[in-house]
Amino acid sequence: MKPLIAGNWKMNGLQSAKQEIERLIEKFSGAAPDDRDVLICPPATLIAGFAANYSDEAIQIGAQDCHPETSGAHTGDVSAEMLADAGAAFIIVGHSERRADHGETSDIVRAKAQAALRAGLTPIICVGETREEREAGEALNIVGDQLDGSLPETGAEIVVAYEPVWAIGTGLTPTLEDIGDMHDFIRSKTPEGTRLLYGGSVKPGNAGEILAITNVNGALVGGASLNADDFYPIIKAAPGAM
């Protein structure tokens, strides 16, 4: 299964951030690696410009969220169709920061995933437990419930990203055994061929050992994706001939 290395820029990046994209492309010598997929999900303000200038290079461009509806009176929201029109190829849905900060339920996440598919885009559906839930021995139950509620009923391509909430941006990561156990569990509950990403303080120093775990088919990278010097070693660490 071809690895997918995705960068989630979150609420970071102005027009000047194109310099990091260009630096990353330079590291590829301008050619897309054919044994792995590389994705950048910048803020919505940058999607159209990045897609127009770089999506034929070494990377694809994605979005960080969408509204479930096609159009309507939803001030400040952006539909999946609008994002597709801007040049996005993927949409992250259900990130823990959306679930926590905006109260998004798994039903909402499923609706957004269905919207992405409706627009011809690939949803990256995020799941993960809090520290308290893991320490209570509930991690598998929590993630299982999120999968049951968030995955659309379709044969179309989806991606699932496991991000333990307590590891995002903290520098903490689960043990390799814990990551492997969770990805094996997620594999048992997802359609065949679904790429499973790990996210949560993925860095150049730990990417190789994480990406070597069975059923880890890539990474969803936060802060380290903002800098080409950090992101490129993570991309390079994915199994393959690169």
Tokens of 220: 């969803």
> Choosing from 67, 133, 163, 183, which is the catalytic residue?
163
Backbone angles phi, psi at 161, to 5 degrees: -115, 125
43: left (phi over 0), alpha (psi -120 to 50) or beta: beta
Q: Which of 1, 49, 59, 47 is nearest to 235 (CA)?
A: 59
Which 3-state string (H, E, C) describes 95-108? CHHHHHHCCCCHHH
| Exposed / middle / buried, residue 203 (Cβ in 10 Å: 0-12, 13-18, 19+) | middle
Strands in the chain per DSSP E: 4-8, 37-41, 60-63, 90-93, 122-127, 159-162, 195-199, 218-221
Known catalytic residue at 163: yes
Query: Exactly one of 67, 95, 97, 129 is catalytic; which is it?
Result: 95
CA dihedral (48, 76, 161, 108) positive or negative: negative
Q: Fill in the DSSP letter of residue 179.
A: H
Q: What is the Cα–Cα distance from 170 to 173, expressed in whole angstroms?
A: 8
Tell me which residue of 66, 54, 61 sits closest to 117, measured CA to CA: 66
Q: Is 212 helix (H, G, I), strand (E, B) or coil?
A: coil
Give the chain's count of helices (H) and strands (E): 10, 8
Active site residues: 95, 163
